[in-house]
């Protein structure tokens, strides 16, 4: 079954793939959304992927110490935990990808522009609330 699906995708999926790739290229411009809504963070430009890193170290949300044990992409700490609780936005927590990503979150931008805008606006609102407290 997989071989048949694979062959059909190669034969008939060119237009679909082109549309998906164009959509991802459009969403890579999320720097403008970040600039408008999350000025206290820094977008690390994505390269050949649909995942973007957002440096949130200036928000001072990282825990003081590392938690021991095996880490998975579902372990949340620091800014990722804050965005889930305060903005209802699930992003990957940078600390599980190594010490160089502490204080960062990873955003999947392979979605519609409307959803991506909603995500960034919610995150921006949550940061604004954080700054007021």
> How many structural domains is the chain composed of?
1
* Cβ atoms < 10 Å from Cβ of 33: 20
CA separation for the pair 5, 12 (Å, rounded): 10
Read off the CATH number of the domain in which 102 is found: 3.90.1150.10
* Mean pLDDT along residues 90-118: 86
CA separation for the pair 132, 126 (Å, rounded): 10
**Residue-range definition of the domain harbouring residue 84:** 2-132
Q: Are strands 51-55 and 104-108 parallel, antiparallel or unpaired?
A: antiparallel
* Mean pLDDT along residues 94-123: 87
Contact criterion met (CB below 8 Å) for 120 and 37: yes
26-38 confidence digits (pLDDT tens): 766 677 888 888 8
* Mean pLDDT along residues 51-75: 73
């Amino acid at each position: 079954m997989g071989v048949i699906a694979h062959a059909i995708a190669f034969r008939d999926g060119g237009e679909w793939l082109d549309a998906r790739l164009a959509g991802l290229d459009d969403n890579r411009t999320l720097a403008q959304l970040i600039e408008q809504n999350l000025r206290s963070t820094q977008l690390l430009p994505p390269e050949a992927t649909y995942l973007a890193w957002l440096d949130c170290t200036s928000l001072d949300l990282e825990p003081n110490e590392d938690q021991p044990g095996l880490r998975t992409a579902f372990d949340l700490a620091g800014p990722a935990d804050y965005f889930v609780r305060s903005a209802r936005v699930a992003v990957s927590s940078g600390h599980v990808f190594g010490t160089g990503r502490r204080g960062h979150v990873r955003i999947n931008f392979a979605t519609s522009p409307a959803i991506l805008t909603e995500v960034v606006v919610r995150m921006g609102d949550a940061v604004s609330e954080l700054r007021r407290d």
